[in-house]
Structure formats: structure tokens, C-alpha cells
């Protein structure tokens, strides 16, 4: 009886693994196809392949981000990150950028506060598109 249970459990795990692999590959290919050159990784439940609207993002930026990052994206005298002076900040993958904005970050005590409870997923994508368009190079 015990052996039967173990064999059944093993087969179940194998079946789940096999079907899991198949699904993941198919979904990955679909997402990569739909997103073109964009990174299609996911951050939690957020689909990072979906682009944002920079015009809507400008509204979000001037409401929430400008106080620390400055209207010119230069970090407002060292309060927030300087996007213009350090262009690599905005060149990270969508997944990394969206995670930073959603969950915040702590760079040796320099705190980027989490925005996930303040902004919707779409607003985060919008504001990311805006800062890349406006301050990326
Ligand atoms: C209370 C101040 C504050 C606010 C508000 C704020 N930030 Fe930040 N942000 C920071 C600080 C500080 C850092 C870390 C800077 C560093 O790494 O030196 C940071 C880092 C970042 C980074 C990461 C840069 C990197 O090097 O990876 C991004 C992207 C970012 N902020 C975007 C935003 C966006 C978009 C908003 C508005 C939705 C926002 N921030 C609002 C202070 C703020």
C-alpha cells in the first residue's frame, strides 16, 4: 500500500512537471512573439510585456515622482535617483524597472519608496514609459 502511494505520488509529480514545462514554453513563446524586442518576463502577477502610455505617465510623474526625481529627471539635488546623469538606470529590463517602482528599493540607505499601493499596474507602466521617453537617451 505504501509503495503504491509513493509510485502514484511520483507519477503525479512527473505529470505535473511535464505539463508545467509544456505550458511554460508555449506561454513564453506567445509572450515573446507578441512583445517583439520587449522583455516579456513577469513580476508577480504583472505582465511586463504590456507597454505604457507616456502621456498618461507624465501626469503620474508630476503628481508622485517629481518631488524626489525632479521635473528634469536629475534627482532634485540628490534626493532621488538621477535618470539623466546615469542613463543605465533607465536601460534595465522592464521586469527590473517595474519591480523597483512597484516594490521600492534600498540602495545603501537611499530609499525608493514602493509605489505598488499608491499606483495601479497601468500607471506604473505609463510612468516608466514617460521617464524613458523623457530622460532616457
Ligand atoms: C520620496 C522620494 C522618492 C519618490 C517619491 C520616488 N522616488 Fe524613485 N527613487 C528615490 C531614491 C532615493 C532612489 C534610489 C536612488 C539611488 O539608487 O541612488 C530611487 C530610485 C528610482 C529608480 C531606480 C533607479 C535605479 O538605479 O535602478 C526608479 C526607476 C525610480 N526611482 C522611479 C520612480 C518613479 C517612476 C517614481 C514615481 C512613481 C518615483 N521613483 C518616486 C526616491 C524617490
The topology (CATH level 3) of 2-135 is Cytochrome Bc1 Complex; Chain D, domain 2 (1.10.760)
Determine whether the shortest distance from the Cβ of 136 to ligand 1 is under 6 A.
no
Kindly report the average pLDDT of the chain as a whole number: 76
pLDDT at site 115: 97
Could you state, in order of their start, the residue ranges of all structural domains in the chain? 2-135
**8 Å CB contact between 112 and 100:** yes
According to the model, what pLDDT value does residue 11 have?
37
CB of 67 shorter than 6 A to ligand 1: yes
Select from 56, 80, 88 the residue to mutate for testing ligand 1; criterion: most ligand atoms less than 8 Å from CB.
Answer: 80
pLDDT (tens digit, 9 = 90+) per residue, 96-119? 999 999 999 999 999 999 999 999
Query: Alpha-carbon torsion 36, 37, 42, 48, what sign?
Result: negative
* Ligand 1 atom nearest residue 96's Cα: 27
Residue 42 clears pLDDT 80, i.e. is over it: no
pTM for this one?
Answer: 0.74
Amino acid at each position: 500500500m505504501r509503495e503504491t502511494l509513493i509510485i502514484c505520488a511520483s507519477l503525479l509529480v512527473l505529470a505535473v512537471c511535464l505539463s508545467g514545462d509544456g505550458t511554460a514554453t508555449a506561454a513564453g513563446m506567445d509572450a515573446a512573439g507578441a512583445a517583439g524586442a520587449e522583455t516579456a518576463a513577469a513580476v508577480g502577477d504583472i505582465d511586463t510585456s504590456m507597454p505604457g502610455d507616456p502621456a498618461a505617465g507624465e501626469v503620474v510623474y508630476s503628481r508622485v515622482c517629481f518631488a524626489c526625481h525632479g521635473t528634469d529627471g536629475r534627482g532634485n539635488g540628490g534626493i532621488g535617483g538621477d535618470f539623466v546623469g546615469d542613463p543605465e538606470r533607465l536601460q534595465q529590463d522592464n521586469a527590473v524597472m517595474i519591480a523597483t517602482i512597484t516594490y521600492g528599493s534600498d540602495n545603501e540607505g537611499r530609499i525608493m519608496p514602493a509605489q505598488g499601493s499608491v499606483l495601479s499596474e497601468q500607471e506604473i507602466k505609463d510612468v516608466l514609459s514617460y521617464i524613458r521617453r523623457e530622460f532616457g537617451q
